[in-house]
Amino acid sequence: MGTPPVGAVMLPVMLDLRDRACLVVGGGEVGVRKAEGLLEAGALVTVVAPSPAAAVEALAACGRLRLERRPYRAGEAAGYRLVFTATDSAETNRRVAADAEAAGIWANVADEPELCTFHVPARVRRGALQIAIASNGEAPFAVRRLRQLLDRRLAGDWAAWIAAAARFRPRVRALAAPAQREALFDRFFAATVDPDSLTARVPAPEEEAAWLANAAAVKAPVPTDPPRRPGFVSLVGAGPGDPGLLTVRARRRLMTADAVVFDRLAEPVLPPDLPARVELHSVGKEAGHHPVPQGEINALLVRLGLEGKRVVRLKGGDPYVFGRGGEEAEDLRAAGVPFEVVPGVTAGIAAPACAGIPVTSRDEAVRVTLVTAHESTRVDGSFVHWDQLAHDPHATIVAYMAVSSLKQVSANLLAGGMDPEFPAAMIERGTTSAQRVVRAPIRELPAAAEAAGIQPPALLVVGPTVHHAESLAAFTRRPLFGERLALAAPAGDVRDALEEAGAEVVEAPLPLTPAARIVLRALPLTGCLLRSPADAVAFADERPAWGDRVVAWCLDAETADSARALGWGRVVEASADAGWGALVAAMGRGDEGHRDR
């Protein structure tokens, strides 16, 4: 039992734990993570803990695991296939490990490698593809950083690629000659994997057919996959950027999806607790940069739908408001793939609201016009009648994608006769913690926005109600506006306190899911609330990607010491003994001098 002798290498294995009884002793945050990992693997989980965490209680309440609210009983580890122990009692941990060893049961003891008979490796997962990284338990800090490196480098459509490989294999195995099988496998790999960039693509059906048809050893017809019923594609509006504005139906579709195809602007609203089994396809669209052409996105949606998958196409704002959702819907219809549209809150309404600008107001603005600013630069004639808009003093104009075209839009409106002093504003990343607003008369706004460094995504608002921003910008006046904070799930009532104070909160499950990692990096973080040393360890992998400005807000001295030992540069010990209000006040003061040792 324990860490292997010098020179010995532990054997990596993949365990099938479906419907097998597994025990977790301890119901704290580490125990929660162990239980969630076992549940994801399909195990029958029992948790033994006198005072379990709320997350364990919740899992038991919905029937996902069995909870025994009591101390560990001597010898009971023998009744299980696999045992984890993560209690605060060293004596209990040793007792569990000894019982497991006596019964021939594999056991893992949190933070005590010498008592472990197995370790759980760090994993990089893309669908059914898993890459495990381990160090015999000797250098977990190095393993975490290597996993983080591979997670960033392993780009492309790997989840769909491994699924395609799984479909290709039985077709090749039907061939008579083993040598030809290996040649076909080599052909598949060489044609679909770029070893330099570590990217993969899914071969087209005609490519696979050609490889199989050209195989010299084919003696009999190659079996074809049975026809599949098409899946279902949901074109879902992600809203303007605030995760709280994602609709109930949108979240429901995401949590039950097999695959999610998302734009860059939709990254902040991906549910961090999206199951790890869900394929994530980033198509990376953002202002002025479309790395995946729209035609390829349409083809991807059709392919995933024809594979019988439940697919969510997650688009910023609303799918049918300058989102090209109609084009995607038309291609799905033509291919016979069932689909639906789940409307989202469009930025043209929500962003002005969070900037203190009502787009309509009785006796001031009685009409709203939504336009794309790119129309101002069309060489073949704009579909927007800028002169008519310029002469309507009781209308609000909202122009999407306005940064690169702002000078031309302003020039068009002024040329059309708009009052040069008419109120206008640029809103960058509206509704989020990164929101910035620049207000100026329409003739001065291009220079003011350029001086402020306004970047996409940003909206232009022109209208009589812009002046209300002076008095109605409540969104940006809350004490924690501008803070984007990460904390481990379940957050409990601290999340409510932070959000009411204006912070944007990313509640991330531990261990971090692929979706949680995307969300954490989607916008700059300003802080991370660490409630235990285990939190500091769990977020350690991601910390280097966040930069040095992120503050570790620690609720006790032990957690603060752990954060410093793990390399967190800005550590603040801020007690919540007096309630969450005291913590909010410390954050609002930027209280880094408070016990920042």
CATH of residue 48:
3.40.50.720
Question: What residue spans of 214-293 are helical by DSSP H?
Answer: 248-255
Q: How many CB atoms lie within 10 A of CB 146?
A: 16
Structure tokens at 144: 């975490």
Report the number of distinct structural domains present in the chain.
5
- Let me know if residue 224 belongs to a domain: no
End-to-end CA distance of the chain: 39
* 246, burial (CB in 10 Å: exposed 0-12, middle 13-18, buried 19+): buried
Structure tokens at 399: 């122009």
φ, ψ of residue 551 to 5 degrees: the values are: -95, 130
DSSP state of 245: G
- Let me know if residue 131 belongs to a domain: no
Answer with the one of 446, 476, 506 that is the final residue of a domain. 476
Q: To 5 degrees, how large is the angle CA 136–CA 140–CA 146?
A: 105
- Let me know if residue 555 belongs to a domain: yes
263 and 353 share a domain?
Answer: no
Q: To 5 degrees, how large is the angle CA 348–CA 354–CA 360?
A: 55
Instruction: Return d(Cα 35, Cα 32) in angstroms, integer.
Output: 5
CA distances from 247 to 259, 345, 388 (A): 19, 8, 35
- Let me know if residue 199 belongs to a domain: yes
- Let me know if residue 2 belongs to a domain: no
168 and 255 share a domain?
Answer: no
353 and 472 share a domain?
Answer: yes
Range of the domain at 273: 232-345
CA distances from 328 to 5, 295, 319, 337, 343 (A): 58, 9, 10, 11, 14
Taking alpha carbons only, the member of 260, 210, 207 closest to residue 235 is 260
Instruction: Return d(Cα 566, Cα 12) in angstroms, integer.
Output: 27
pLDDT for position 490: 86
Instruction: Return d(Cα 48, Cα 31) in angstroms, integer.
Output: 10
Which pairs count as long-range contacts for 586-591, CB under 8 Å and 24+ apart, including other chains? 586/553, 587/479, 587/480, 587/483, 587/498, 587/501, 587/503, 587/527, 587/553, 588/479, 588/480, 588/501
- Tell me the residue type at 241: G
Please tell me the chain's helix, strand, coil percentages from 3-state DSSP, rounded to the nearest 5.
40, 20, 40
Q: To 5 degrees, how large is the angle CA 136–CA 142–CA 144?
A: 95
Q: Which residue has tokens 């600008």?
A: 357
Q: Which residue has tokens 């000659």?
A: 177
Q: How many CB atoms lie within 10 A of CB 288?
A: 9
* Run of H or E residues at 313: strand 310-315
Q: To 5 degrees, how large is the angle CA 407–CA 408–CA 414?
A: 90
52 and 86 share a domain?
Answer: yes
- Let me know if residue 153 belongs to a domain: no
Taking alpha carbons only, the member of 170, 171, 173, 164 closest to residue 200 is 164
Taking alpha carbons only, the member of 149, 344, 136 closest to residue 235 is 344
pLDDT for position 230: 82
| Active site members | 263, 285
Is-contact 580 499, C-beta < 8 A?
Answer: no
Q: Which residue has tokens 């957050």?
A: 491
295 and 317 share a domain?
Answer: yes
List, edge to edge, every strand of the sheet that includes 527-530. Answer: 504-508, 484-488, 527-530, 551-554, 570-573
Answer with the one of 98, 120, 142 that is the final residue of a domain. 120
Instruction: Return d(Cα 516, Cα 513) in angstroms, integer.
Output: 5
* 118, burial (CB in 10 Å: exposed 0-12, middle 13-18, buried 19+): middle
465 and 495 share a domain?
Answer: no
pLDDT truncated to tens, each residue of the chain (597 aa)?
555 554 466 788 889 999 899 999 999 988 998 999 899 888 999 999 999 988 898 888 888 899 999 999 999 998 899 999 999 999 999 999 999 999 999 999 988 888 999 988 888 888 888 888 888 777 777 888 888 888 777 766 788 888 888 888 888 877 646 667 788 888 888 888 888 778 888 888 888 888 887 764 445 444 555 556 789 999 999 999 999 999 999 999 999 999 999 999 999 999 999 998 899 999 975 555 556 899 999 999 999 999 999 999 999 999 999 999 999 999 999 999 999 999 999 999 999 999 999 999 999 999 999 999 988 777 666 788 999 999 999 999 999 999 999 999 999 999 999 999 999 999 999 999 999 999 999 999 999 999 999 999 999 999 999 999 999 999 999 999 999 999 998 888 899 999 999 999 999 998 888 999 999 999 999 999 999 888 888 898 888 888 888 999 999 999 999 999 988 889 999 877 778 888 898 888 876 544 333
CA distances from 508 to 181, 497, 574 (A): 44, 17, 21
φ, ψ of residue 206 to 5 degrees: the values are: -70, -30
pLDDT for position 138: 75
- Let me know if residue 140 belongs to a domain: no
pLDDT for position 561: 93
423-428/436-441 β-pairing: antiparallel
Answer with the one of 99, 120, 141 that is the final residue of a domain. 120
- Tell me the residue type at 537: V
DSSP state of 4: P
- Let me know if residue 152 belongs to a domain: no
Q: What is the CATH number of the domain that holds 357?
A: 3.30.950.10
Instruction: Return d(Cα 174, Cα 215) in angstroms, integer.
Output: 12
SS3 assignment, position 426 = strand
340 and 378 share a domain?
Answer: no
Is-contact 184 175, C-beta < 8 A?
Answer: yes
Instruction: Return d(Cα 261, Cα 462) in angstroms, integer.
Output: 33
82-85/21-25 β-pairing: parallel
579 and 498 share a domain?
Answer: yes
Q: What is the CATH number of the domain that holds 325?
A: 3.40.1010.10
Structure tokens at 439: 């207000």
pLDDT for position 396: 97
333 and 372 share a domain?
Answer: no
457 and 492 share a domain?
Answer: no
502: left (phi over 0), alpha (psi -120 to 50) or beta: left
- Tell me the residue type at 452: A
Tell me whether the omega of the peptide bond preceding residue 457 falls within 30 degrees of 0, making it cis: yes
CB under 8 Å to 386, separation ≥6 — which residues?
Answer: 376, 409, 412, 413, 415, 416
Instruction: Return d(Cα 261, Cα 270) in angstroms, integer.
Output: 11
359 and 472 share a domain?
Answer: yes
442 and 364 share a domain?
Answer: yes
